[in-house]
Amino acid sequence: MSTGTPSITIPADLLPADGRFGSGPSKVRPEAVAALAAEEGYLGTSHRQAPVKFMVSRLRNAVAELFALPDGYEVILGNGGTTVFWDAATFGLVERKSQHLSFGEFSSKFAECTSRAPFLDDPSIIKTDPGTAPSAVAEAGIDLYALTHNETSTGVAIPIVRPEGADPGALVAVDATSAAGGLRFDAAETDVYYFAPQKCLGSDGGLWIAAVSPAAMERIERLATGDRWIPASIDLKIAMDNSLKDQTYNTPALATIFLAVHQMEWINQNGGLGFSSGRCARSAEIIYGWAERSDYATPYVTDPALRSNVVATIDIDDAVDATVISKVLRANGIVDTDSYRKLGRNQLRVALFPAIDAEDVNQLTRSIDHVVAELRSA
């Protein structure tokens, strides 16, 4: 045990089979790691040659199948993750003015990017307190509506719909970093559905992926060929042109691509988004039900309709230190249940991604109960 952590041993029959509950990086299925190790002629080869280009093609096709993309939509990708994509979108998707829904740490970050861009008008920002969520409202002059499907910091998920009455040609861009592959949505309600694969897609980070509509592709093309200077590394037209050739502009993390492909093909072969979202929903039912029955735990998100099925946030009574619970869990092999640091609550945060088995979530709740009982009796 680490210094300051109570010496509590959780009985083996209470432990989950796999103790990884982090909200990203998250659990990678052992089968995917084994498949990567067994794959010959892939790792350590040129990303301009057939083996890697074929894997990129598989990734793009798997995304299209998983999300049932409408005709004309394409899947594009590039290096750097969602944080880099916010910069790319600031340069290559927002024409003059964007609207942002801000209801947590990550949903606010894209707004920060557009606020600082000297070539854009100040964005419209609709903000609500953490644990709640606003709705997009049509405004004249808005050419891009920025939504967040799941706020990873707070465990709030929102429905994805186009704002009624938006200006003709306005785009809807959805940050789906912790939602993609775990929450249902209608792709036709979006123009850009972008994400990174280290959460529901059971892979490593370092890559952004976006499903883009014909209208979004036209916008990307027009802005890139206009007067606006765009750095090549975040130029969405360069990313789009390369993606359509089943490659990336610069060298990608080959393992990340492979693991994402393996996860999505596993999901698609077992029923697609209905299968993966169903796994998440079962886990969510277990952990929220446990918290509602508990005398010391409560779901942080008070509106059940906004509670996320992919990231659960659970408030702990102030008489019990949630940080100590997390430390004891970690000492027993159950890791990454800490709350989001900037939220500043006495809270546990638990990923419910498709790779995580519902029975492991059930065992987690039993382990937490054991730890709390031991702490109370000390």
The pLDDT assigned to 342 comes to: 85
Predicted local distance difference test score (pLDDT) of residue 2:
40
Q: Where are the domains of the chain?
A: 18-28+271-377, 31-269
Among 320, 298, 257, 258, smallest CA distance to 79 is for 257
The per-residue pLDDT for range 316-358, each reduced to its tens digit, is 999 999 999 999 999 999 999 999 988 989 999 999 999 999 9
pLDDT of residue 311: 98
pLDDT digits (tens, 9 = 90+) for 15-29: 999 999 999 899 999
Q: Can you say how many angstroms the Cα of residue 180 is from the centroid of all Cα atoms in its chain?
A: 6
* Under 8 Å between Cβ of 74 and 212: yes
Identify whether the C-beta of residue 364 lies closer than 8 Å to the C-beta of residue 330.
no
Residue 135 has pLDDT above 60, yes or no: yes
Per-residue pLDDT, 5:
86
**Per-residue pLDDT tens digits for 249-297:** 999 999 999 999 999 999 999 999 999 999 999 999 999 999 999 999 9
Predicted pLDDT at 341: 83
**pLDDT value, residue 3:** 47
pLDDT at 218: 98
Residue 1's pLDDT is what? 37
Q: Categorize the per-residue pLDDT at 42 as very low, low, confident or very high, splitting at 50, 70 and 90.
A: very high
The yes-or-no verdict on residue 181 having pLDDT over 60 is yes
253: number of Cβ within 10 Å: 18
Assess contact for 222 and 200: CB atoms under 8 A: no
Nearest to 172 by CA among 153, 156, 185, 155: 185
Quickly name the fold that domain 31-269 has: Aspartate Aminotransferase; domain 2 (3.40.640)
Cα separation values, 247 from 46, 51, 52, 58, 241, Å: 11, 11, 8, 11, 9
Closest CA to 295 of 363, 378, 364, 376: 376
pLDDT digits (tens, 9 = 90+) for 309-318: 999 999 999 9
**Axis-axis angle for helices 273-293, 358-377 (nearest 10):** 20
> Which pLDDT does position 370 carry in this prediction?
98
The band of 378, judged by pLDDT with boundaries at 50, 70 and 90, is confident
Cross-strand pairs, 150: 157
CATH architecture of 18-28+271-377: Alpha-Beta Complex (3.90)
